[in-house]
Amino acid sequence: MILTSIAIFLISAAALALEVVLVRVLSIGHWHHFSYLVISTALLGFGSGGTFVAVGPKALVRNYAKSLWGFSLALGVSVPFVFWICQKVPLDELQLIWDRRQILYLFAYYMLFFIPFFCAGVCVTIAFTACAEKAHSLYFYNMAGSGAGVAAIVAMMYLCRPEQLLLLVSSVAFASAMILAFGTSRRLAAGTLACAAICLLVFSRAGPLALEIDISENKSLTFYRALPEAENLAVRHSPLGRLDCIKAPTIRHFPGLSMTYRGGLPEQILIITDADGISAVNNFKDFEDLGCYDYMTSALAYHLKKEPDVCVIGAGGGSDVAQALALNAASVTAVEMNSQTVDLVHEQLNEFASGLYRRDDVEIITAEGRSFLQRTKRLFDIINISLLDSFSASAAGLYALNESHLYTIEAIKLALSRLRPTGLLSITRMLKTPPRDSLKAFATITEALRSAGVADAAEHIIMIRSWATATIFVSPRSFSEGQIAAARRFARQRCFDLVHLPGIDRKDTNQFHVLDEPIYYESVQKILSADRDVFFRRYSYNIRPATDDRPYFFDFFKWKALPYMIRAVPGRWLPFSEWGYLVMAATLLQAVCASGLFILLPLVVTKPIKAVASGKSATFAYFFLLGLSYMFLEMGFIQKMTLLIGHPVFGVAVTLLSFLVFSGCGSLVSGRLLKLAKRTNGGYQSSVRAVQITALAVVTIGIGEIVIMRFWFGPLVGLSLPARLLVGLLITAPLAFFMGIPFPTALKQVHRHRRPLVPWACGINGFASVTAAVLGMFLAISLGFTVLSLIALTGYVLAAIIVRRVVA
């Protein structure tokens, strides 16, 4: 039994680690939208494992030690093999709408990724079915292994390339096979060792099938690497992304530079995150070399405020820091989350960057922007957030749809509170066709001003646009006449168009970069008006302000606009819609179909399950509710912990680690207690009571924690990082502890009274998780994370009501 438990620990660790690594690998090679593919494939694989054991040969469970050995060995081999084959599939996701072959290639990805997760799922289900009496203990090893897998792989991401991590995952699976083989025979152990050695050698860097991420040719890195004399100066890996440092004489990254600029441009090195996110490092002798930065829309801030103390959020390679200094900033506080980016500019590129990050007037803070603003007590003259896109949990590899805690009403209010009375918050966005994210930013700012008690928001905002970018400036105080005149002068001299400033008239707009209609001006006037709700409702995209509870600034999709788009542009509407949302919808559809098929299949096919006379619907409902609710709560807490801890990777890691490990502990402790309290009817009463008490505890603690996070959030965020990590653990641990009890408790009773339903129950739980992973995201986007958590708590209450029929 102990060997099986250790093997399950290792297999669970390998499976979860594989999920995280695959998301990372696909974010580099393709885009983060593939997270859904991986998450749903992983959970589908787990669930299918349950079904396979239910309908498959009985020998699988009878000879469970050999079966476990076989499938764990298959897991070890399949991890690198599947990845290697995937890199040979010419998937070009951007061609999906035109090239039908791409659907086939995407399906090939799906099927290939399914294999290792299926092997892991079979292993776990076999163990639960064969050793159901030890369900509590096994559940502990299962959960603890998963938690350890996530924590270890996130830590290893700082040390290894993703390709190496795949081999590491494979090694863990082989280790599990070795342990099981030792329990059977020495020959088997020797064979396993040989197989593992060959596999790892073949797929190693020196081997004939070396693993290498094939980066999509549609990503920026492919283009920049192909430039003449391009050099890749450095590659860094971390959970926050892969960084490539590209130097080429022809690189010029100055988004939205005015067409009136006639001077020279400084030489640049690009730091490219995950092969696509670009940040520039400038080479300059003195600040006169950076004259071009005065010809960008964001430069207006430095014409409105002289010698300011500046805070740059998302400093990256330092372009905005250089701009601030070139335009006479007194001091710059540069906040950058990725320590490796800071390290590159500070160390390796220091000479090229003209010592930018080592200057006395520049202070570098390695922190997430929102978190820094929350904790700092300093006040600034200018806070600059330029072209900074979301860096969310998606980058850490889980639950992607670009949550952003920087572009919410609460974040804007916070930023405004860190400004001196006449200070400025400057936000720059790229223009999109049709207009959406600059309008959403404007709407969010307007709402933040209103909720901060500003009566006339229009007097506090200036917005200008170039041919490619738009910048919004917000001040806690109304802009003075002098500032307004300076803004008009600045825009006219650089051929930038005014979108909004106090006292603006329609004829002042749309003069230099001409649109058919002054759509930006008209839209912001409607956002500022009292009937803005009508405008938000009628606009083709979702440009309602984002909030902390629904932090999806980058979600612009509206279902009701979809039929119009399809009618208006038959066959070609997709580029106008929002890919992320549609990919997620497709994943949910697929997840529901697959779940339905695989849950119903055993009912139709397997005689033993068909033979069970009663309790099937209750079993279905109970385990489905548990799977759904567990996942929903986990997602809700990941979001809250990310905000609290102020770092997406640590937020996700702490939450997952805490949920998985403490759920395992809950299972283990409850198993012992139930054993002691065993009464008549095979522990029926104590099981029912245990689940009911658990549900009560989960609901009480859950609601308590939602309240704590809502009202005590400010003081908690002010703590140091270790303290916040500890608080994060303390908040999630008790909840997770109780959440670990209902599943093994009921499973044990099902094993006693309706043994054939055990693998089926595992499968249902797995499939509920598949659906919940995507459905939860839909609910979070449309209803918010608080409602999502409340739905999950209701699920636990319902499960407590049903449990009597499950264990009877």
Which 322-381 positions form the footprint of other proteins (CB under 8 A)? none
88 binds other proteins (CB under 8 A): yes
503 binds other proteins (CB under 8 A): no
105 binds other proteins (CB under 8 A): yes
**Between 97 and 601, whose beta carbon lies closer to other proteins?**
97
Q: Contact at 8 Å (CB) between 389 and 405? A: no
* Per-residue CA distances from 214 to 29, 83, 557 (Å): 6, 11, 30
- Report in angstroms how near the CB of residue 695 gets to other proteins at its nearest: 36
- Report in angstroms how near the CB of residue 470 gets to other proteins at its nearest: 13
**Burial (CB count within 10 angstroms: exposed 0-12, middle 13-18, buried 19+), residue 427:** buried
x/- map, 290-329, other proteins, by CB under 8 A: ----------------------------------------
**Between 582 and 665, whose beta carbon lies closer to other proteins?**
582
x/- map, 567-606, other proteins, by CB under 8 A: -xx--xx-xx------------------------------
- Cα separation of 663 and 143, whole Å? 7
Q: Which of residues 5-64 bind other proteins (CB under 8 A)?
A: 57
252 binds other proteins (CB under 8 A): yes
**Between 300 and 807, whose beta carbon lies closer to other proteins?**
300
432 binds other proteins (CB under 8 A): yes
236 binds other proteins (CB under 8 A): no
Q: Which of residues 254-273 bind other proteins (CB under 8 A)?
A: 254-257, 259-263
495 binds other proteins (CB under 8 A): yes
DSSP label at residue 195: H
210 binds other proteins (CB under 8 A): no
Beta-carbon contacts of residue 521 (< 8 Å; ≥ 6 apart): 498, 499, 500, 504, 506, 509, 510
Widest CA span in the chain: 89
**Between 174 and 520, whose beta carbon lies closer to other proteins?**
520
DSSP label at residue 509: B
Sheet of strand 461-465, all strands in order from the earlier edge strand to the far edge? 362-366, 331-336, 309-313, 380-386, 419-430, 469-474, 461-465, 497-500
Distance of CA 562 to the CA centre of its chain: 26
- The residue within the footprint of other proteins, chosen from 62, 358, 378, 538 (CB under 8 A), is 538
Q: Contact at 8 Å (CB) between 73 and 7? A: no
- Report in angstroms how near the CB of residue 37 gets to other proteins at its nearest: 17
* Per-residue CA distances from 411 to 145, 417, 717 (Å): 36, 10, 13
The DSSP secondary structure of 651-718, one letter per residue, reads HHHHHHHHHHHHHHHHHHHHHHHHHHT--HHHHHHHHHHHHHHHHHHHHHHHHHHHHHHHHSHHHHHT
Q: Which of residues 112-131 bind other proteins (CB under 8 A)?
A: 112
The three-state DSSP-derived secondary structure of 396-425 is HCCCCCCCCCCCCHHHHHHHHHCEEEEEEE
Q: Specify which residues 282 forms β-bridges with.
A: 268
Beta-carbon contacts of residue 506 (< 8 Å; ≥ 6 apart): 518, 521
Q: Which of residues 674-733 bind other proteins (CB under 8 A)?
A: none
The DSSP secondary structure of 52-95, one letter per residue, reads HHHHS-THHHHTHHHHHHHHHHHHHHHHHHHHHHHTTS---GGG
**Between 5 and 510, whose beta carbon lies closer to other proteins?**
510
- The residue within the footprint of other proteins, chosen from 2, 514, 600, 707 (CB under 8 A), is 514
564 binds other proteins (CB under 8 A): yes
- The residue within the footprint of other proteins, chosen from 1, 2, 198, 217 (CB under 8 A), is 217
493 binds other proteins (CB under 8 A): no
**Between 252 and 378, whose beta carbon lies closer to other proteins?**
252
611 binds other proteins (CB under 8 A): yes
**Between 207 and 608, whose beta carbon lies closer to other proteins?**
608
Query: Which one of the spans 155-163, 364-372, 400-408, 535-543 is the region binding other proteins (CB under 8 A)?
Result: 535-543
111 binds other proteins (CB under 8 A): yes
Count of positions on this chain that bind other proteins (CB under 8 A): 74
Query: Which one of the spans 42-50, 83-91, 376-384, 775-783 is the region binding other proteins (CB under 8 A)?
Result: 83-91
182 binds other proteins (CB under 8 A): no
Query: Which one of the spans 149-157, 318-326, 397-405, 537-545 is the region binding other proteins (CB under 8 A)?
Result: 537-545
Beta-carbon contacts of residue 337 (< 8 Å; ≥ 6 apart): 240, 314, 366, 367, 368, 369, 391, 647
- The residue within the footprint of other proteins, chosen from 6, 515, 673, 719 (CB under 8 A), is 515
107 binds other proteins (CB under 8 A): no
At 447, give phi and psi (nearest 5°). -70, -35
- The residue within the footprint of other proteins, chosen from 208, 482, 517, 722 (CB under 8 A), is 517
**Between 277 and 740, whose beta carbon lies closer to other proteins?**
277
**Between 159 and 534, whose beta carbon lies closer to other proteins?**
534
Closest CA relative to residue 739, chosen from 804, 687, 674, 690: 690
Place of tokens 């350890």: 148
- Cα separation of 193 and 70, whole Å? 13
